[in-house]
Structures are given as structure tokens and as C-alpha cells.
């Protein structure tokens, strides 16, 4: 798991229209055991990338028809190719171009005419980085699928155990003394807890693999709908629930529903000792993203431990005080990551907590 298989002959795509540059770079790279393909035009470069993905792209900036910036933008905006490292080839003291290249997502630049060892070090570094990122991603995927199989395989026997306990209780509970009855009830409760954890873990591991469907989601409506469902289970509570001007966003409807469900479940759970719970959902926006906040007046938490909140099984409250699996926020974070958003929380002991999430506009 997670082993890095170094490619023996990494392939580099050189995009340049000046014969001397091509010659200089190709000879150095081939001598050093790289395979090199050459494109002298943007269109050819894109065609070659689609045919077969290179391990790295060396990209000249000034070329007729399509310049290096344009090519870089196309590569970096395509999720199939965006992980290919791009190194710009620039003329010395061309600071504007260097800045622009980085802004477009390029990993590095090399100044022409090349210093051979510098070119080689940079190329090697970025190829290695890409391989390490890829193997980390694979390791993560393996962990998720391991988590899924374990939870999946444990669920069936756990359900049987829980059913057996129910049989036992319905046939024998009245034959037991009060101590025996209490024991059975404890076992019942614990087995429900474990099944709940397993269900959450299954959801958690599914979130990485699940194919995403994207559609417009009316967040304001969704918050109301999920709240109404949750509140049916605790009709006696006094709650002021306020939702203000939430945007429509584009996301996966199943995932976003689960996100809202987890956030509101927490807000309801951790305010349950309040005589009157207050839950307020509002939003703000910048040029590129929305920020949604869900504030409650519940028990809050100690900010010193805030970094733990989003980890699997991490809980800041005890099971006796507030039951839970500790997986809800980890699910939220995974869902937001898949939508290129972020999640964070702010809280103060006894003064309530606010869950924030950012969501890109496009």
C-alpha cells in the first residue's frame, strides 16, 4: 500500500517553437534517460497530451497562434490533466510572465538559456512530487475501500446480534429479575450504538467513491426541509429556527442533503439542554465563494481542541452526555472537499458553536 513506483523513463512533453531551444533541451533530457516528445504548436501539444499523458510538460511562453499561458490554462482547467506538472520556459528578468504562469497553476519556471543541472533538478523534483501525490491518493483510496469493506462485513452479523437480543428480550425479559432486565437493556442500547457507528462509517467511506451528480440546489429550502424532518423526532422542544437568504448552489443533491443533515443534527443535539434553543443559518459571499454559517446557542466546545473536530471518531463530548459516533463532521468535510469547499467551526464552552462552510460559486 502506498508504495512509490518510480517510473524508469519518465516522459516529458516539450512545447517550444525555437529549434535551438528544442535541440538543447532534448539532448540534455535524453542523455539523462527521459523520453521526450516535442510539439511546436499549442494545438499539437494538446493533441499529444490527450493521446498519452506525459509525466511533465516544459512549456515555452511565446509561440505564435496559442501562447504558453493559454495552453497552461486549458491543461489546468481540465481535471484529467491538471495534475501534470507544468514548468514554464521564460526569458530572464521576465517577472510578469513568471507571476502570470504561477497564477495559471504552473508549478515552476526555468530561465532560458538553460542551466543544465538546474533544468534537471527541477524536472526531477516535480516528477517525484507528482508520483508521491499520486501514491498518497491511492493509499487514501485503499483506506477508504478498506473502511468500507470492514464496515460492510461487520454490519450483517451486528444486525443479527441485535435481532437475537430483541428475541431474547421479548421472550425472556419478564422471567428475569431487575438486574437481568437492566443487563439486557444495556446490551440493547450498546448494540444500537455500534450499528449507528457502522452506518456512519459506511456513509463516510462511500463519500469518496460516489459518482457525483451536479444540479442546482436551493439551500434555503433544503435547510427547512431537513429541519422539519429532524424536528418531528423531538416535537416537544422549544426552538427558534431562523434561515436567512441562502444562495442556490450547484452540487450533488444526495451529498449536500447529508451535509445539511449532519450540521443540523449537531446543532439540535448540542442545544438540547437549552430551555429555548436558537439556531440561525445565514450566508455571506465574496467574488468566488459563498460562506454559510449555522450558529447555535448550545453547550459549545473548547477551541483548543477545534483541530480534532473533523477527524473520524473524534468527539469533544462524552457518550453519557451526548450520544454520537464522531463521524458526522468527517463526512461533512469529505463532502465539502469533493465540492472544492471548506468546513470549519468556532465555539466557546457553554456559549454555543458555529459551523461554517465555504462553497465555490461555479
Kindly state the cell numbers that stand for 326: 464522531
Record the cell numbers describing residue 214, joined without a space.
451536479
* Span from 133-141, 182-190, 216-224, 322-330 in contact with ligand ADP (CB under 6 A): 322-330
Residue 29 binding result from Mg ion, ligand ADP, none, given CB thresholds of 5 to 8 Å by partner type: none
Query: CB of 234: closest distance to ligand ADP in angstroms?
Result: 15
Q: Which residues contact Mg ion by CB under 5 A? A: 266, 328
d(CA 103, CA 110): 16
CB of 30 to Mg ion, least distance (A): 57
What are the residue ranges of helices labelled H in the chain? 19-31, 42-51, 68-76, 95-103, 116-172, 178-209, 219-231, 253-269, 328-338
Residue 198 Cβ vs ligand ADP, minimum distance, rounded to whole Å:
13
Given Mg ion, ligand ADP, none, residue 353, with its beta carbon under 5 to 8 Å by kind, binds ligand ADP
Half-sphere exposure (Cβ direction) of 163: Cα atoms closer than 13 Å: 6
Rounded to whole angstroms, how far apart are CA atoms 157 and 137?
31
Cell matching residue 215: 444540479
Q: Least distance from C-beta 197 to ligand ADP, angstroms?
A: 9
Residue 300 interacts with ligand ADP (CB under 6 A): yes or no: yes
Comparing CB distances to ligand ADP, the nearer of 112 and 315 is 315
Residue 325 interacting with ligand ADP (CB under 6 A): yes
Cβ atoms of residues 255 and 207 within 8 Å = yes
CA distance 259 to 131: 32
Among 327, 335, 336, 343, binds ligand ADP (CB under 6 A): 327
CB of 168 to ligand ADP, least distance (A): 28
Map residue 175 onto helix, strand or coil: helix
Chain positions contacting ligand ADP, by CB under 6 A: 262, 266-267, 270, 296, 298-301, 309, 315-317, 324-330, 347, 353
Amino acid at each position: 500500500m502506498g508504495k512509490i513506483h518510480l517510473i524508469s523513463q519518465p516522459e516529458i512533453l516539450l512545447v517550444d517553437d525555437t529549434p535551438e531551444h528544442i535541440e538543447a533541451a532534448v539532448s540534455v533530457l535524453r542523455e539523462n534517460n527521459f523520453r521526450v516528445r516535442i510539439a511546436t504548436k499549442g494545438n499539437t501539444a494538446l493533441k499529444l497530451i490527450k493521446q498519452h499523458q506525459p509525466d511533465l510538460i516544459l512549456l515555452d511562453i511565446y509561440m505564435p497562434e496559442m501562447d504558453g499561458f493559454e495552453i497552461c490554462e486549458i491543461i489546468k482547467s481540465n481535471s484529467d490533466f491538471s495534475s501534470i506538472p507544468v514548468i514554464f520556459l521564460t526569458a530572464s528578468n521576465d517577472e510578469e510572465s513568471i507571476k502570470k504562469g504561477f497564477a495559471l497553476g504552473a508549478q515552476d519556471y526555468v530561465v532560458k538559456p538553460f542551466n543544465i543541472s538546474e533544468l534537471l533538478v527541477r524536472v526531477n523534483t516535480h516528477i517525484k512530487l507528482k508520483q508521491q501525490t499520486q501514491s498518497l491518493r491511492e493509499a487514501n483510496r485503499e483506506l477508504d475501500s478498506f473502511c468500507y469493506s470492514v464496515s460492510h462485513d461487520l454490519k450483517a452479523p451486528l444486525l443479527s446480534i441485535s435481532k437475537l437480543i430483541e428475541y431474547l428480550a421479548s421472550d425472556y425479559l419478564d422471567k428475569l429479575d431487575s438486574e437481568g432486565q437492566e443487563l439486557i437493556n444495556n446490551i440493547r442500547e450498546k448494540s444500537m450504538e455500534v450499528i449507528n457507528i457502522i452506518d456512519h462509517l459506511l456513509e463516510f467511506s462511500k463519500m469518496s467513491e460516489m459518482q457525483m451528480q451536479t444540479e442546482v440546489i436551493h439551500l434555503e429550502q433544503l435547510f427547512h426541509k431537513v429541519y422539519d424532518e429532524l424536528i418531528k423526532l423531538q416535537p416537544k422542544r422549544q426552538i427558534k429556527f431562523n434561515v436567512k437568504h441562502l444562495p442556490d448552489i450547484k452540487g450533488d443533491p444526495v451529498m449536500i442533503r447529508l451535509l445539511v443533515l449532519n450540521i443540523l443534527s449537531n446543532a439540535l443535539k448540542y442545544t438540547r439542554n437549552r430551555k429555548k434553543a436558537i439556531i440561525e443559518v445565514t450566508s455571506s459571499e465574496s467574488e468566488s465563494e459563498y460562506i454559510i454559517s449555522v450558529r447555535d446557542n448550545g453547550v459549545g466546545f473548547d477551541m483548543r481542541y477545534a483541530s480534532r473536530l473533523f477527524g473520524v471518531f473524534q468527539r469533544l463530548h462524552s457518550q453519557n452526555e451526548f450520544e454520537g459516533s464522531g463521524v458526522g463532521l468527517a463526512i461533512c468535510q469529505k463532502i465539502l472537499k469533493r465540492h472544492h469547499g471548506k468546513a470549519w467551526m468556532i465555539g466557546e464552552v457553554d456559549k454555543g458553536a458555529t459551523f461554517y462552510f465555504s462553497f465555490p460559486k461555479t
